Amino acid sequence: MTDQVFIEGLECQAVIGVFEWEKQIRQRLLIDLVIQWDNRPAAAADDYAHALCYDTVSKAVTALVEQQPHELVETVAEKIAALILERFGAPGVQVRVAKPGAVANASTVGVRIERRAS
């Protein structure tokens, strides 16, 4: 399938990091998603009921990221991928989690993963 739904620059405020000082504050994470999704049924019917709702996905991802602390952006990425595949039934997803300002000489650092439904 070549159809994709994307969400770029989803900003979340998360307790994220391995250092003790990081566990006491919220830091900004930026999340990009590329979700494999068959857009043909929604397009053919011009019907929202057949579309993947960007707002619903964004709210679910934000809640997941912000509800509990994590040490690693790798963990956050894996949890987001699992959410998209399981809750929304997507056949595949690419997840990019960026942590701006984490490294002094870089604008951002993070991870990018791609997962498929089993």
pLDDT in tens, 74-99: 999 999 999 999 999 999 999 999 99
On the CB side of 111, CA atoms within 13 Å amount to: 12
Check if 99 is active-site.
yes
Residue 10 pLDDT greater than 70, yes or no: yes
User: For the whole prediction, is pTM greater than 0.85?
Assistant: yes
Find the catalytic residue in 23, 59, 79, 99.
99
What's the whole-number mean pLDDT along residues 15-36?
A: 96
pLDDT in tens, 57-72: 999 999 999 999 999 9
